[in-house]
Structure 1
């Protein structure tokens, strides 16, 4: 699962006045974009609830933004999916301001939104220090530390989504196509949409591996090429925005929510992760099971062990727990297996002749309500932890774990992953090392937002929970 563009250079933290060369580059980009008819730039970041927030600037203001940033309140770090704000000591209230700095290297003209461009953000305090609640900065710093230790990670996030008719009332869901699961009929029905989507992604430089109908009514899956973790998270955000923009141009609505209709298969956001040292894939070519190296097995075991605590990052919405059920290929059990799509951690080797590049681990329990920067940071932390401690994988599960008896599950220490937000928070509390990696500000924000979402859905029936988040994600 090697990236198509190799190891990136490090990106320094933003500073008031701009990093060396940033203002000049911004002036050049601004002129180029204006010449191409781009009028505005969407500066985007993802908050703790998994919502992409935006500040738009005129194209002519790009250089000023690169020099002095754009203001935004830190309150969004604890805003819930419905816009309500729970209490939090570090981030609550109307006081305070942050500066948003665009990553000019990722600035992209939007093929699905003519006249607009897009850039991901890092956030700093007005005094110039790093904002401790910035998940992109957290991931970038962690990635840089691992590179200094000789480890390069590559990641890709699968994107599942459901297309709905756009001419129905806002509180209704009517699939946009009626073809069978995985069927060519559905692809034919959506020919115009899929053609325009692939064209837009190609124009934006996104490597698409697969686009095909999925299981649920109106559902599709889009698989993209691997990048370093920061750019993989950026890509996940940008691709979803592109899907939504193209859908809107075809009078369609799109949902990335974990559960679109309660009781049906939901949308996943499976994460593929590989680790490299000196250009060698640590999940291939070793003497361990299925070619795992000792380092690769340690990292896989670290991720597996941490999955219950990582639920607050991977399955962060009440809607997530409607999706995360047995016999749905959602990875509901904390176990691993070679090409086992019911295991939360799936080992993928690739075809003979391809394994040295393709071998990776897939985290199947994750969904697209997750902030991808937080999720990838949690996975990198867990992988490094497993490597440092020299962990070994437990016994492999070669069947659907839901088919095992209680005695067999207990014997092999296989547990369901958290089925409620309360359970997820309890597991998170048992990993102070993970909390230390995230830092006190992000930890407080995560706990406040997860408790707030759980409280507002406490008495809701599954159908109401699905409806509450259906068009949010």
Structure 2
């Protein structure tokens, strides 16, 4: 039995002062689907101290039937009032940690997986910061006569569309995010019709993962208010760009950027170079998590500038890992951009594995391979092989086989999450493999 701390007392006081009638406690299942349970304010003090009991066996990957009893413990530091639920009476939300009945962390909680990875880095004096660039499509509510999604516009990269639905949408979504304390750095129209990007400001990885889950909810809420819908599907339209979640990462020792070394090539420290080497080496085996759906590999291998090859480069947008241009006298901004992630991933698990891969490179002193200076997409397979540039997995099936053999992924996720995730992905691949697609009908039905 615990006692209340100052943050929890602040939450209870704010709920009373702001006339909050419902508090939604959020958490995710292993696949990254947001879950929610509403708690009456009168029950919240008990939830802080004792947790809220629920049947974990009913949630994807959280527990087996014979170990179903679990608790959610609200994290008072994540308290925010939900602006789309009206002013009074109001609704708020908090993220929660999943606990076992003895109050120990659940091995199946994605938030706990990331906490463990961050804890290992913290033991070495390092804090992991992330900054995601999240792409998504906006579609009309109704499908076309052929059953295809209809983008809300036909604009392109950085296009300014006066009185355009996308422009108004981004303004409303950003206002709502900032009302909730989530800072936005940039936003713009992306390359595809109806495709948009909103970039969240740098934060520690756990806060970023919480912010991504909130971001997706806000984007969908704002879209519904406008009679349209938002999709984070990695490749919703053939022959159009897929949606990625490029993430800028860095490690700090206290207030010092561990990735920065004045005078080094691209100002990258040895720590940064080894981190990049770790991410590159382990990229294939973590792909089933960073790119977790069948459709993810249609983004990676569907053209349109997706990072399908394992290499790094300075300001090279064809590379899987890009080192942005250094800003003079801004050593704190030195970072690397990982371009393979897509927004369908569970951000808690994905960031845990990116960090684990980078830390493995630091700990085992991996050597960074030569930089890719060419446009990797335009090289031939023979040229890429000669340069030592390997491809990312070509399908979810390929990614599953690589993950199955990975000691790094098993150790980082823990046995429970590792086993469940693989079972789920094998089932997804088996179900997909049974399908007869429209492509097959068009190409083979009348030919054979």
Partner of 2:240: 264
| Structure 1 residues 249-398: aligned runs within 5 Å | 249-325=225-301, 327-354=303-330, 356-398=331-373
Corresponding position: 1:105 with 2:77 = yes
Deviation, 1:168, is: 5.1
CA–CA distance in structure 1, aligned partners of residues 163 and 74 of structure 2: 37
Deviation, 1:181, is: 3.4
CA–CA distance in structure 2, aligned partners of residues 462 and 76 of structure 1: 32
Corresponding position: 1:413 with 2:385 = no
Q: 1:463 to 1:124 in 2, by over 3 A?
A: farther
Partner of 2:32: 50
Q: Deviations over 1:17-76 (max 9, x none)?
A: 34x424x75454234224324322222222222211222222332222112222333335
Q: Give TM-score, length-normalised by structure 1.
A: 0.86
CA–CA distance in structure 1, aligned partners of residues 389 and 162 of structure 2: 37
Which one of 433, 447, 454 corresponds to residue 422 of structure 2? 447
Partner of 1:188: 164
Deviation, 1:151, is: 1.0
CA–CA distance in structure 2, aligned partners of residues 76 and 186 of structure 1: 47
CA–CA distance in structure 2, aligned partners of residues 196 and 78 of structure 1: 33
Corresponding position: 1:459 with 2:434 = yes
Q: 1:44 to 1:172 in 2, by over 3 A?
A: farther
Partner of 1:3: none
CA–CA distance in structure 2, aligned partners of residues 242 and 216 of structure 1: 21
Partner of 2:445: none
CA–CA distance in structure 1, aligned partners of residues 285 and 116 of structure 2: 21
Partner of 1:14: none
Corresponding position: 1:212 with 2:184 = no
Q: Deviations over 1:349-390 (max 9, x none)?
A: 343333x12221111111111110101110111111100111
Partner of 1:155: 130
Residue aligned with 1:392, SS? coil
Q: 1:35 to 1:279 in 2, by over 3 A?
A: closer
Deviation, 1:322, is: 1.2
Residue aligned with 1:60, SS? helix
Residue aligned with 2:85, SS? coil
Is the 8 Å Cα contact of residues 177 and 186 (structure 1) preserved in structure 2?
no
Is the 8 Å Cα contact of residues 157 and 223 (structure 1) preserved in structure 2?
yes
Which one of 139, 142, 160 corresponds to residue 164 of structure 1? 139
CA–CA distance in structure 1, aligned partners of residues 382 and 351 of structure 2: 34
Corresponding position: 1:177 with 2:149 = no
Corresponding position: 1:133 with 2:108 = yes
Of stretches 314-323 and 280-289 in structure 1, the one that deviates more from structure 2 is 280-289
| Structure 1 residues 23-42: aligned runs within 5 Å | 25-26=7-8, 28-42=10-24
| Structure 1 residues 216-235: aligned runs within 5 Å | 216-235=192-211
Q: 1:94 to 1:461 in 2, by over 3 A?
A: farther
Q: 1:222 to 1:461 in 2, by over 3 A?
A: farther
Q: Which runs of 5+ in 1 are unaligned?
A: 1-16, 80-89, 465-473
Is the 8 Å Cα contact of residues 78 and 448 (structure 1) preserved in structure 2?
no
Partner of 1:120: 95
Q: Give TM-score, length-normalised by structure 2.
A: 0.90
Residue aligned with 1:238, SS? helix
Q: 1:77 to 1:271 in 2, by over 3 A?
A: farther
Deviation, 1:195, is: 2.5
Q: Deviations over 1:58-98 (max 9, x none)?
A: 2332222112222333335646xxxxxxxxxx944475121
Is the 8 Å Cα contact of residues 140 and 149 (structure 2) preserved in structure 1?
yes
Q: Which runs of 5+ in 2 are unaligned?
A: 440-448
Of stretches 196-205 and 425-434 in structure 1, the one that deviates more from structure 2 is 425-434
